[in-house]
């Protein structure tokens, strides 16, 4: 079987390098480079990507052996049916390892066609390394490398304001563009690069915050033989992703003229404020995952897919999203419902077995971040508790007992969380009074929740009742009773 190279893409167009990308990992190749490939084929973007390997050990050389070509497999629900499709990505011109070919990397700053800088160097990548120096070849940190590259471009083009970049980090940290710019400015000060350079940074460059959303399992090791047979060539960089994709970029609207993703039919939003979209993702997608996990697992289910398809558990999670989470969010209702429908479709992806226990890691802190704001907002605005979410909270407390029927649950959380729950459940005899004491103790931790949750009107009492019902009747009966009572209340 022949390896994938340029010879297998004879009609590949030669395009100028417009995008400099820090990071050669699966996510960027299945998300950003895939989108640029589509823009090249459907619009006049006409630009390729040069990938910079951000660490000494990386994949630039191996990627170059395939002439930057690789295959993206998209698997998931599309227009209501399961679809598996693949495409050859031709948008990557080459990879560069700045640790072994520094001058080739540095000369990228002199390319007048370069306009975009995109990165995903992991959450730890956007960090300040005080030992970095301008003369290093290269600097150890990504922001250090970027600052040196920007300074060389500034010098080469004599401070030309038209030669700045649109810089879009994809690292999963809040306000990633702001954080990256702050560190670049910190290096400019540390290295004494001058006020004129700092002004050029501000005036010629646009640092955008962004939010990315696509599940990318990566290289399909377990079935690469089957995929290779289907493709008819050997591809060391095959990457699998889900059908859904969303990229929210906070920046000026003129970016859409230079980056015509929307024109190509891609789900890329350029917005003035990405906060509502980040909140939407955290509350609906992540919040539903976290609330669903203890309920579904104690019900006897193991994966997200079987949970949302289950007649009882599926009804619970849909009601949780549409009746309790969405009413607390600020975006238009139609937009939120459309996003929720896409989330549920993603949860049903038949090609991915997303295990509930893989979501259960650090569930207490996740509940605080993803679900507690919804609970508090709903309670304040509606004047009553969100019943599905309160029940999920009770299920979380039951989950941290560490047992599903007769089998132990391998809890994974901070030691202080595990120790507290172990101690509380050890002395709980299952009586209503004992359960109330356990709930009150858990809710009282200001350090854990940011406030004493016993002060939330009715929460402690309802949690205690739900937890007692789960413990005494079992999750199956408790959940069915909850949904029956909810249906009766709606009539």
What is the side-by-side order of every strand in the sheet holding 116-119?
92-96, 48-52, 17-22, 116-119, 166-169, 206-207
Query: What is the C-alpha separation between 485 and 491, in angstroms, rounded?
Result: 10
**What is the predicted pLDDT for the residue at 77?**
84
pLDDT for the residue numbered 6: 92
Cβ-contact 98, 138 below 8 angstroms: yes
Give the C-alpha separation, 452 to 376, whole Å: 12
Distance CA 300, CA 314 (A): 13
pLDDT recorded at residue 354 = 87
Largest CA distance in the chain: 77
Looking at residue 406, its pLDDT comes to 87
Q: Is 28 part of any known ligand binding site?
A: yes
The pLDDT of residue 117? 98
Domains and CATH numbers, the chain: 6-271 (3.40.50.720), 275-487 (1.10.1040.10)
- Residue-level pLDDT at 487: 56
Q: Tell me: is residue 29 an annotated ligand-binding position.
A: yes
Terminal Cα distance for the chain, rounded: 64
Six token digits for residue 113? 């066609």
22 labeled binding residue: yes
pLDDT of residue 491: 45
| Residuewise pLDDT in 10s, the chain (491 residues) | 789 999 888 889 999 999 999 999 999 999 999 999 999 999 999 999 999 999 999 999 999 999 999 999 999 988 778 999 999 999 999 999 999 999 999 999 999 999 999 999 977 889 999 999 999 999 999 999 999 999 999 999 999 999 999 999 999 888 999 999 999 999 999 999 999 999 999 999 999 999 999 989 889 988 999 999 999 999 999 999 999 999 999 999 999 999 999 999 999 999 999 999 999 999 999 999 999 999 999 999 999 999 999 999 999 999 999 999 999 999 999 999 999 999 999 999 998 888 999 899 899 999 999 999 999 999 999 999 999 999 999 999 999 999 999 899 999 998 999 999 999 999 999 999 999 999 999 999 999 999 999 999 999 999 999 999 999 999 999 999 999 976 555 54
394 known ligand binder: no
Whole-number pLDDT of residue 488: 54
Confidence (pTM): 0.84
The pLDDT value given to residue 79: 79
Q: How many residues does the chain have?
A: 491
Pairwise CA distance, residues 368 & 371, whole Å: 6
Q: Give the pair of three-digit tokens for residue 120.
A: 């995903």
Whether residue 42 contacts residue 66, with contact meaning beta carbons closer than 8 Å, is answered with no
Question: Is 23 annotated in some ligand binding site?
Answer: yes
By C-alpha distance, which of 124, 123, 153, 148 is closest to 138?
148
CB-CB neighbours of 130 under 10 Å: 10
Backbone angles phi and psi of 323, in degrees to 5: -95, -20
Known binding residue 30? Answer is yes
Helix or strand run (H / E) with residue 341: helix 333-347
Q: Is 19 labelled a binding residue?
A: yes
CB 302 within 8 A of CB 407: no
Question: What are the CA-CA distances from residue 448 to residues 367, 368, 416, 442, 444 (Å)?
Answer: 11, 8, 10, 9, 9
45 is in an annotated binding site: no
Q: What is the pLDDT of residue 360?
A: 92
Distance of alpha carbon 234 from alpha carbon 463, whole angstroms: 55
Strand partners, 75: 84, 242
Enclosing H/E stretch for 363: helix 363-370
Distance CA 212, CA 478 (A): 37
C-alpha span between 300 and 281 (Å, rounded):
27
Spatial contact of 274 and 169, defined as CB atoms under 8 Å apart:
no
Long-range contacts of residues 455-459, Cβ cutoff 8 Å, at least 24 apart: 456/375, 456/376, 456/379, 457/379, 458/384, 458/385, 459/375, 459/379, 459/385, 459/390
Who contacts 464 (Cβ-Cβ below 8 Å, separation ≥6)? 432, 435, 436, 439, 440
């Amino acid at each position: 079987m022949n390896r994938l190279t340029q010879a297998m893409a004879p009609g590949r167009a030669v395009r100028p390098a417009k995008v400099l990308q820090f990071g050669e990992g699966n996510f960027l190749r299945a998300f950003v480079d895939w989108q640029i490939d589509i823009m090249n084929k459907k619009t006049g973007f006409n630009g390729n990507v040069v990938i910079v390997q951000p660490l000494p050990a990386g994949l630039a050389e191996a990627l170059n052996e395939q002439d930057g070509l690789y295959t993206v497999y998209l698997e998931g629900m599309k227009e209501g049916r399961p679809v598996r499709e693949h495409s050859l990505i031709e948008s990557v011109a080459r990879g560069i390892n700045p640790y072994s070919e520094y001058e080739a990397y540095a000369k990228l700053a002199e390319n007048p066609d370069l306009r975009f800088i995109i990165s995903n160097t992991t959450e730890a990548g956007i960090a300040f390394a005080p030992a970095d120096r301008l003369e290093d070849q290269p600097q150890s940190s990504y922001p250090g490398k970027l600052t040196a590259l920007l300074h060389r471009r500034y010098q080469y083009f004599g401070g030309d304001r038209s030669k700045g970049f649109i810089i879009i980090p994809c690292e999963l940290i809040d306000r990633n563009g702001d954080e990256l710019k702050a560190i670049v400015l910190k290096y400019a000060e540390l290295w004494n690069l001058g006020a004129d350079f700092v002004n050029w940074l501000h005036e010629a460059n646009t640092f955008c915050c962004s939010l990315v959303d696509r599940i990318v399992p990566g290289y399909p090791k377990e079935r690469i033989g089957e995929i290779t047979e289907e493709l008819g060539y050997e591809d060391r960089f095959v990457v699998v992703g889900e059908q859904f994709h969303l990229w929210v970029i906070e920046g000026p609207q003129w970016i859409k003229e230079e980056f015509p993703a929307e024109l190509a039919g891609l789900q890329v939003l350029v917005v003035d404020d990405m906060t509502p979209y980040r909140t939407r993702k955290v509350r609906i997608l992540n919040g539903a995952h976290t609330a669903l996990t203890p309920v579904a697992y104690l019900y006897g289910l193991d994966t997200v897919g079987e949970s949302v398809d289950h007649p009882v558990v599926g009804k619970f999670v849909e009601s949780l999203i549409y009746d309790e989470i969405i009413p607390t969010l600020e975006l238009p209702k139609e937009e939120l419902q459309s996003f929720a429908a896409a989330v549920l479709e993603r949860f049903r992806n038949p090609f991915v077995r997303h295990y509930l226990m893989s979501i259960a890691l650090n569930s207490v802190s996740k509940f605080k971040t993803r679900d507690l704001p919804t609970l508090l907002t709903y309670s304040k605005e509606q004047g009553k508790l969100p019943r599905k979410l309160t029940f999920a909270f009770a299920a979380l407390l039951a989950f941290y007992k560490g047992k599903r029927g007769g089998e132990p649950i391998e809890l994974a959380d901070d030691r202080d969380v595990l120790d507290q729950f172990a101690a509380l459940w050890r002395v709980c005899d299952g009586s209503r009074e004992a359960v109330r004491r356990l709930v009150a103790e858990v809710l009282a931790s200001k350090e854990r929740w940011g406030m004493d949750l016993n002060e939330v009107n009715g929460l402690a009492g309802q949690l205690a009742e739900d937890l007692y019902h789960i413990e005494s009747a079992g999750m199956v009966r408790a959940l069915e009773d909850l949904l029956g009572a909810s249906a009766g209340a709606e009539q």
